[in-house]
Amino acid sequence: MKPLLLITGICGRIGCAAAAFFSEHFQVVGLDICEPAFPCEGIDYLFTDISSLENVRDSLAQVKEKYGDQIASFIHLAAYYNFSGGAWDKYQKITIDGTANLLTALQDFQLEQFVFSSTMLVYAPCEMGQKISENSPIDPKWEYPLSKVKTEELIREKRGDASSVILRIAGIYDDLCNSIPISQHIMRIYNKELESHFFPGNVHHGTSFLHMVDLIRALKLVVEKRKQLAPEEIFVLGELQVMSFQSLQDEIGRLIHGKPWWTMRIPKWFAKAGAYAKKRFTREKKSFIQPWMIDLADDHYELDIQKAKKILGWEPVHNLKNCLSKMIEKFKEDPKKWLKHHEV
pLDDT band at 285 (very low <50, low <70, confident <90, very high): low
Instruction: Summarize the confidence of residues 103-117 as an average pLDDT.
Output: 98
Least Cα distance to 74 among 39, 29, 38 occurs for 29
H or E stretch at 143:
helix 143-158
Query: pLDDT tens-digit profile of 135-145?
Result: 999 999 999 99
pTM metric for this prediction: 0.94
**pLDDT on residue 2:** 94
Cα separation, 49 vs 32, in Å, equals 7
| Gyration radius from the chain CA atoms | 21
Does the pLDDT of residue 54 top 70, yes or no?
yes
Query: pLDDT tens-digit profile of 227-279?
Result: 999 999 999 999 999 999 999 999 999 999 999 999 999 888 788 777 777 76
Does the pLDDT of residue 86 top 70, yes or no?
no
pLDDT band at 13 (very low <50, low <70, confident <90, very high): very high
Instruction: Summarize the confidence of residues 324-334 as an average pLDDT.
Output: 96
**pLDDT on residue 85:** 60
Strands annotated E in the chain? 4-8, 27-32, 43-47, 70-71, 73-76, 110-111, 113-119, 163-169, 171-173, 198-199, 209-211, 232-237, 264-265
